Structure 1
Amino acid sequence: MLDRDVCRRARLARDARFDGQFFTAVRTTGIYCRPICPATPPQEGNVDYYPSAIEAARAGYRPCLRCRPDSAPGSPAWKGTDTTLERALRLIDAGALQDASLDRLCSRLGIGDRYLRALFQRRFGVSPKAYARYQQCLFAKQLLHQTRLPVTDIAYASGFRSLRRFNACFREYMGMAPSQLRRQAGTTTGGLTLHLAYRPPYAWPVMQRFLARRRIDGLEWIGDDHYGRSFTWQHTKGCFTAIHDPRRHGFRVTLELDDLSVMQPVVANIRRILDLDADTRAIETHLAGAAPGLPLIEGLRLPGTWSLFEAGVRAILGQQVSIDAAKRHVQMLVETLGPGFADSAGEQRRHFPGPESIAENELAFLRMPGARRETLRRFAAWYRDAPKVDDPAHWLALKGIGPWTVDYARLRGTSHPDIWLAGDLGVKQALGALESESRIDPQAAAPWRSYLTLQLWNR
């Protein structure tokens, strides 16, 4: 439940830490806004507060053209208590209802469609399909504001297969035609460049150091203010560079894609690997109670890896070796099996190798015990044959894969917020170095134990 007094103070102060946590709907204008909206604040008696954009829309409000609610950071799905709903939202954000049916989504979740509909109705008051369509329209609105893409391309990039269907949905949810919004949007940036917002603070120097230490040449590139990499999404290849813009509380992301139809889930995944939707203020308040005396880094984020498969490969190659040794193994794997390409600037890049190329290679070029090479090949073969299984718990059935590998892959490959790596050497060393009065209760840190793990890694 939203605390009306907290919401009032946050919107009057335009506090960016609450951006995306709630939306202010103004009865006199029929518009809903972010807490940071630059417009003159309305009278308190004329506003209602909603925890999500879809709920404001369902109540009949249109998104503001000044503060652009489509650009707000999202609220973490696990803020609720229903893990099934959280998984459903994550899969929908990844395009599960763009390229498959509701029945297929329910099959992946292991539930019936009636139960899934009930979850969405109880939480948002709409069906899963309506929720997905509204997210597509919000993403299209962001593209209309921030890019020069033609409206037809924006429809395709937002997951619509028909321009007529796109126009109808956009009019229904946004209250105007896409072309009308484009005329009002004013100056836009060239190419595929988007601003992705976060709630401050954001400990970028810590994130930058973590990613730089594990950077794979050709696959990733990083500097003082940016991080970029190549990627594969389904059968589409691309690359992105995210430049940190602390004054605007976000990243300026330039994106290259072979196929615009996967743009929405690709952008959602970029948000995930940079952990842009975390509410670090709430997380650190919780951790302070579970770990009294532990100095906490303010604004710490979970550094993600592009895919669960890549996270699993990195975890296997990092078993019982140092970070630098694991990096050398991954570098050799990418240089030997990763497909090469040139980006739009002529830079030579590589993609991460797929399951097929790893499973079908002897991997003799990797200087490591033969048993570990076979573990990697077994893992790749399993992933090749079961690409839609998104629960790493199944990996435990594979010889050579234990709980640490699965948990590390969950932490970086899915950005799971509640992973406690009790057996990790870095965690053990950090705990051993703590003063005796700094007592840590990992169970009390739930559901944010991944952030506690990262706090200890960065001591």
Structure 2
Amino acid sequence: MPITTPAMPPSLDPEHCRVARMARDARFDGRFFVAVVTTGIYCRPICPAPAPHERNVRYYASALEAASAGFRPCLRCRPDSAPGSPAWQGTDTTLRRALRLIDEGALSTGNMTQLADRLGIGERHLRGLFQRRFGVSPKAYALHRQCLFAKQLLHQTRLPITQIAFASGFSSVRRFNDTFRQRIGLAPRDIRRQHADNKDTQQSMQLTLSYRPPYAWQTYRNFMRKRAIAGLEWVEENAVGRHFLWAGTSGHFTAHHQPQRHAFRVELALDDLRQLAPVVANIRRILDLDADCELIEQHLATNQTHLPLLNGLRLPGTWSPFEAMIRAVLGQQVSLIAARRLTQQLVNALGQPAPANGRHFPGAEAIAGSDLTFLGMPGRRRQTLIDVARASLEGNHDFLNVSGIGPWTRDYARLRGDSNPDVWLTGDAGLRRALKQWPDLDAEQAAPWRSYLLMQLWSLEDERPHETQ
């Protein structure tokens, strides 16, 4: 593909990009990419290779734009490992959801019409969103993401190439080889020959997932530790992990924080590697690795000038919207300690066995088929749990018509289960206490990142007895 040099997107200031790449500033990792016309390669701004002359450099807002212009990814800094989610994702809800569904395999297992229907928009509108933002179709974006994920697996694991093809969403090895060679510029085996020192097996592997610094690890860890369910989740000094179920397959992961590398080393075991890409995407969401904290905090500081901000605060995710909703209902009108006890009882009674005497979080069928009398809570709330499970089995994942689900419960589930960046929990007890210190705070000005303002206010509270799971 011939290399083209279109005009730089107006959102990128060439002088700022030059300074950032010369400093190899990790805070800009993934916010733009550096293409070199003399080599035909594009890099992350933190690439350790000698910096090229500015006259030979072009800047792109995404790896997709650099690839579409004919550049191939650097094998040294590996753009496939860069944090995702540039700043605009906080403001474009439909596009953000479309990208998440594609990363979860929506176009590998379905088609454009089905994706548009899930988004509640027309197929023409969906194509227009991608053309305006990336200059390519949703399918082209999906193929690009699949190739970058496959490249990451080729670099970081010793999985057989056949397994990598299926794990990255391709239906055949031939299709994988042709598409990979076209978009990356190398055959999969060429990369594998250069990186063959990992000792992973088909079921177990290690991956490195990067983020933009800073990362308020201690705050994240403490939040998760207070809510961890024995047998299901574990929280260590520098790691978090859990057992999980995803699309009929089971697995577990442990994410070890490596602040010196601005990354997590993730030990992951999975029964069916065809689910690997969406599982990794969900782990990234749970850890909130793609947040641009510097941008978010700058926005919050501009609009909430007197609020002390904790740098690098993340949204602590829960594995799924269903689990988040169940845990939110269990935490209604009780203390955090009581909510954790009820959740533990539910997992012990209905959760499927997992390796090492662990348990999985109960599925909708298990909860819908139980009377839940073993839970020490009002019958009306037990019925709400059952109704949530039945709604999930019927495909109603918004739980809009479930009795006992009010705005607070639904929004909390969106915060933890969807990692929605713009949730404001009006009526939350911990938030009300924090707002007494900041009576002039205007949450509307924090949009589209009100969830991060909420976490900032919660972090100011040492004790939050009415928080939920």
Amino acid at match of 2:112: L
Written as runs of structure 1 = structure 2, the 5 A alignment for 1:267-278 is 267-278=280-291
Match of 2:455 in 1: 454
Relative to the length of structure 2, the TM-score reads: 0.93
Written as runs of structure 1 = structure 2, the 5 A alignment for 1:139-150 is 139-150=149-160
Separation in structure 2 between the aligned mates of residue 44 and residue 275 of structure 1, nearest angstrom: 33
1:435–1:58 distance in 2 versus 1, CA, 3 Å: closer
Match for residue 384 of structure 2 among 362, 375, 379: 375
Amino acid at match of 2:69: A
1:341: Cα distance to partner? 2.2
Match of 1:222 in 2: 235
Give yes or no for the alignment of 1:45 onto 2:58: no
Give yes or no for the alignment of 1:169 onto 2:179: yes
Match of 1:328 in 2: 341
1:36-82 CA-to-partner distances (Å, cap 9, x unmatched) read 00000111111111111111000000000000000000024753643
User: Is the partner of 2:107 in helix, strand or coil?
Assistant: coil
Match for residue 241 of structure 1 among 245, 249, 254: 254
Separation in structure 2 between the aligned mates of residue 216 and residue 198 of structure 1, nearest angstrom: 26
Match of 2:7 in 1: none
Match of 2:169 in 1: 159
Match of 1:429 in 2: 433
* CA contact 1:230–1:238 (8 Å) conserved in 2: yes
Separation in structure 1 between the aligned mates of residue 447 and residue 91 of structure 2, nearest angstrom: 12
Separation in structure 2 between the aligned mates of residue 430 and residue 168 of structure 1, nearest angstrom: 56
Match for residue 374 of structure 2 among 365, 368, 374: 365
Separation in structure 1 between the aligned mates of residue 337 and residue 86 of structure 2, nearest angstrom: 33
CA RMSD for the aligned pairs? 1.2
* CA contact 1:275–1:302 (8 Å) conserved in 2: yes
Q: Which has the higher mean CA deviation after the structures are superposed, 85-94 or 354-363?
A: 85-94
Give yes or no for the alignment of 1:349 onto 2:388: no
Amino acid at match of 2:330: L
Written as runs of structure 1 = structure 2, the 5 A alignment for 1:394-409 is 395-409=399-413
* CA contact 2:90–2:421 (8 Å) conserved in 1: no
* CA contact 1:396–1:403 (8 Å) conserved in 2: no
Q: What's the % identity of the aligned pairs?
A: 62
Amino acid at match of 2:296: I
Q: Which has the higher mean CA deviation after the structures are superposed, 289-298 or 300-309?
A: 289-298
- Could you tell me which runs of 5 or more consecutive residues in structure 2 were left unpaired when the two chains were aligned: 1-10, 461-469
Amino acid at match of 1:442: A
Match for residue 313 of structure 1 among 326, 341, 360: 326
Match of 1:420 in 2: 424
User: Is the partner of 2:39 in helix, strand or coil?
Assistant: coil
Separation in structure 1 between the aligned mates of residue 279 and residue 87 of structure 2, nearest angstrom: 18
Separation in structure 1 between the aligned mates of residue 248 and residue 167 of structure 2, nearest angstrom: 15
Match of 1:26 in 2: 36
* CA contact 1:146–1:189 (8 Å) conserved in 2: no
Amino acid at match of 1:205: Q
1:189: Cα distance to partner? 4.8
User: Is the partner of 2:109 in helix, strand or coil?
Assistant: coil
User: Is the partner of 2:333 in helix, strand or coil?
Assistant: coil
* CA contact 2:210–2:262 (8 Å) conserved in 1: yes
1:97: Cα distance to partner? 1.0
1:421–1:248 distance in 2 versus 1, CA, 3 Å: same
Amino acid at match of 1:453: L
1:174-208 CA-to-partner distances (Å, cap 9, x unmatched) read 11110011112353353410000000000000000
Match for residue 90 of structure 1 among 100, 113, 133: 100
Match of 1:265 in 2: 278
Give yes or no for the alignment of 1:73 onto 2:83: yes
Match for residue 200 of structure 2 among 190, 211, 218: 190
Separation in structure 2 between the aligned mates of residue 79 and residue 265 of structure 1, nearest angstrom: 19
Separation in structure 2 between the aligned mates of residue 402 and residue 77 of structure 1, nearest angstrom: 31
* CA contact 1:23–1:52 (8 Å) conserved in 2: yes
Separation in structure 2 between the aligned mates of residue 201 and residue 351 of structure 1, nearest angstrom: 32
* CA contact 1:145–1:182 (8 Å) conserved in 2: yes
Q: Which has the higher mean CA deviation after the structures are superposed, 228-237 or 204-213?
A: 228-237
1:103–1:396 distance in 2 versus 1, CA, 3 Å: closer
Separation in structure 1 between the aligned mates of residue 126 and residue 87 of structure 2, nearest angstrom: 15
Match of 1:118 in 2: 128
1:31–1:98 distance in 2 versus 1, CA, 3 Å: same
Amino acid at match of 1:365: F
Aligned length: 447
Q: Which has the higher mean CA deviation after the structures are superposed, 103-112 or 372-381?
A: 103-112
Amino acid at match of 1:382: A
- Could you tell me which runs of 5 or more consecutive residues in structure 1 were left unpaired when the two chains were aligned: none
Separation in structure 1 between the aligned mates of residue 54 and residue 199 of structure 2, nearest angstrom: 36
1:290: Cα distance to partner? 2.4
Q: Which has the higher mean CA deviation after the structures are superposed, 88-97 or 68-77?
A: 68-77
Give yes or no for the alignment of 1:17 onto 2:4: no
* CA contact 2:33–2:60 (8 Å) conserved in 1: yes
Q: Which has the higher mean CA deviation after the structures are superposed, 193-202 or 181-190?
A: 181-190
Separation in structure 2 between the aligned mates of residue 435 and residue 114 of structure 1, nearest angstrom: 45
User: Is the partner of 1:365 in helix, strand or coil?
Assistant: coil
Match for residue 280 of structure 1 among 293, 302, 305: 293
Amino acid at match of 1:165: R
User: Is the partner of 1:65 in helix, strand or coil?
Assistant: coil
